[in-house]
Amino acid sequence: MQYVADWICPDTGVIVVIAPPVLDKFASYVQGKNKYEAGGILLGYRRGDHFEVIHATEPSEIDKRSRFHFVREAKYHSEIASKLWAKSNGTINYIGEWHTHPEETPTPSSLDINEWKKLTMKSSDQNPFVMTIVGAKELWTGLSHPNGLIKKLIEVT
């Protein structure tokens, strides 16, 4: 399976590029039968209005995982984000979230949408965040805006 690396918002032209190692990491967590959901945070660069995702954290032992549910515990993931931020002199930042769904073509659940809205609206950063759901065959990628709007991105092939 090969996921698409380049995404664009049809309304605004915002581009999201996901690095190949991140796509490989997503593929390693695809949910087969009886596999739990996985997830983490997306780290990378904001290039003006655009995003370059260069790292995705993996699930930790303290995250809560089940077949149809993933809850990220902040401590482990924020420690990785802090280390990469310091190592990059503040250029690598938190830019979003990812998790898996046990379906080939994923779509956000109402719980996903509500959590993304809460997360984005409570952020002091007034920029959108990248949200990705990993399915068995495809990704769903979108932007969650501080005003609560969620925009689905389309694949650039």
Residues classed as catalytic: 37
| Integer angstrom CA distances of residue 60 from 28, 71, 132 | 15, 10, 18
- Structure-token pair, residue 128: 């959108």
Q: Report how far apart the first and last C-alpha atoms of the chain are (Å, whole number).
A: 15
Nearest of 156, 20, 16 to residue 96 by alpha carbon: 16
Question: Strands 154-155 and 64-66, how do they pair?
Answer: unpaired
Residue 6's Cα: distance from chain center in Å? 14
Helix (H) or strand (E) holding 105, with range, is none
| Integer angstrom CA distances of residue 63 from 89, 116, 123, 150 | 28, 17, 21, 25
Q: Is-contact 45 78, C-beta < 8 A?
A: no
